Amino acid sequence: MSETAEKKKVIFSAIQPSGTITLGNYLGALQNWVKLQDDYNCIYAVADLHAITVRQDPKAFRQNILNAYALFIACGIDTEKSPFFIQSHVHTHAELAWVLNCYTQFGELSRMTQFKDKSQKHADNINAGLFTYPSLMAADILLYQADLVPIGIDQKQHLELTRNIAERFNGIYGNTFRIPEAYIGETGAKIMSLQDPTKKMSKSDENVNSWVAILDKPDTIMKKFKRAVTDSEARVCVGEGKDGINNLIGIMSCVTGKTTDEITAEFEGKGYGDFKTAVGEAVVEKVRPIQERFDRLIADKAYLEEQYRKSAEFALRLSQRTLDKVMKKIGYVAR
Catalytic sites, residue numbers: 118, 200, 203
Q: What is the C-alpha separation between 318 and 325, in angstroms, rounded?
A: 12
Q: Which residues pair with 12 in a beta bridge?
A: 43
> Rounded to whole angstroms, what are the CA distances from 214 to 57, 234, 297?
22, 28, 15
**Three-state SS string across 100-136, please?**
HHCCCCHHHHHCCHHHHHHHHHCCCCCCHHHHHHHHH
> Rounded to whole angstroms, what are the CA distances from 149 to 33, 84, 160, 311?
11, 15, 11, 19
Which among 256, 195, 257, 267 is positioned nearest to 226, based on CA atoms? 195
113 CB burial (10 A radius; 0-12, 13-18, 19+): exposed
The answer to whether 70 and 291 are in contact (CB under 8 A) is no
Which among 148, 136, 17, 82 is positioned nearest to 315, based on CA atoms? 82
